[in-house]
Amino acid sequence: MLSPKRLQRHMKGAANYRRISILILLEQNPDLSLVEIAERLKWNLKTTADHIRRLSMAGLVSRGRHTGSVPHKLTKRGQTVLKFLRTLE
């Protein structure tokens, strides 16, 4: 089992409705770029980039090194967190 601090990092990473929306979108549409995510969610590019950065830091999303056309994907941990969130419905 992960340490409480590590678990906190993962849960805080998903503790925002915008980040949850990104997780759901990437589950349905893997390999979207930052621009595609922002367009589909109708959000500002900077806002989207910040939330993706936070998801990446929490280990929930993997991303490329460049902005724009680099694909983003859910990690296994991101899939697990999303599955857990669905149990709360």
Please report which confidence band the pLDDT of residue 2 belongs to, taking 50, 70 and 90 as the band edges.
confident
Is residue 63 within 8 Å of residue 35, measured between CB atoms? no
Q: Is 48 helix (H, G, I), strand (E, B) or coil?
A: helix
Predicted pLDDT at 68: 53
* Average pLDDT score over residue span 65-78: 82
CATH of the domain at 56: 1.10.10.10
The answer to the question of residue 2 being in a domain is no
The answer to the question of residue 17 being in a domain is yes
Is residue 52 within 8 Å of residue 63, measured between CB atoms? yes
Is residue 54 within 8 Å of residue 36, measured between CB atoms? no
Return the DSSP state at 11.
Answer: H
Predicted pLDDT at 9: 87
In this predicted structure, the answer to whether residue 14 has a pLDDT above a threshold of 70 is yes
Domain, as residue range, for 15: 8-87
Predicted pLDDT at 67: 55
pLDDT digits (tens, 9 = 90+) for 22-43: 999 999 999 999 999 999 999 9
